[in-house]
Amino acid sequence: MKKWIVIIVVVGLFGWALYDLLYEPEDTAEEEAGDTVMTAEGPDGQEDATSFEKGQEAPEFTLQTLGGEEVSLSDYRGTPVIINFWATWCPPCRAEMPDMEEMYQEEEELEILAVNMTETESTRNEVGQFVGEFGLSFLVLLDENSDVSGMYEVGPVPTSVFVDREGHVQSVILGAMNKDLMEQKLDEME
């Protein structure tokens, strides 16, 4: 009797896996409504769902720079913005910073808001040392209570959000970016 139950369960699981593999819905309710569902792109083309819809207004925030100046996302309306969530202890964050600095130097019409997840750092001094080590000239903002990273539902770091001139989210990238990917995403926003 137990043998038959195990066989039925295994056959049922196999059938379910096969159905799940072969079945592709023709239309989802979101596609029928005309909404664009956005996915975050990760390494090797992996995609993860994000709560942002392409064209959705980017959530407003105000944070302080290392020097204590308050900066808001809306200060940069009219300019394409990359909001980059990062931490000093994150190897992929370290890897992308030279390309990000090079991109910032070359693109006159680009603002980078590097939001440091300060709550995850051992000390605030580490952030300043990191900025000096990499010679970063773009704005580094301190998310001391993880309010903004929570608002943007940041999971893995680095995570970058591309915001167009009108303040709308155009794409979300999970993981380190190289200069080519940054240029591609900026070109797609034009």
Instruction: Express each pLDDT in 40-61 by its tens digit.
Output: 555 444 455 567 888 999 999 9
Over residues 152-170, the mean pLDDT reads 95
The pLDDT score that the predictor gives to residue 40 is 54
Instruction: Express each pLDDT in 7-27 by its tens digit.
Output: 675 565 655 655 565 654 444
The pLDDT score that the predictor gives to residue 30 is 39
Q: Lowest mean pLDDT: which of 39-48, 66-75, 145-154, 158-167?
A: 39-48
Q: What average pLDDT does the structure give for the chain?
A: 84
Over residues 163-184, the mean pLDDT reads 96
Instruction: Express each pLDDT in 56-100 by its tens digit.
Output: 999 999 999 999 999 999 999 999 999 999 999 999 999 999 999
Query: Where do the domains of the chain lie?
Result: 38-189
Q: What is the 3-state secondary structure (H, E, C) of the chain?
A: CHHHHHHHHHHHHHHHHHHHHHCCCCCCHHHHCCCCEEEEECHHHCEEEEEEECCCECCCCEEEECCCCEEEHHHHCCCCEEEEEECCCCHHHHHHHHHHHHHHHHCCCCEEEEEECHHHCCCCHHHHHHHHHHCCCCEEEECCCCHHHHHCCCCCCCEEEEECCCCEEEEEEECCCCHHHHHHHHHHHC
pLDDT higher for 104 or 22? 104
What's the pTM value of the predicted model, to 2 decimals?
A: 0.76
Whether residue 179 has pLDDT greater than 60: yes
**Bond preceding residue 59 cis, omega within 30 of 0:** no
Spell out the CATH class of 38-189: alpha beta
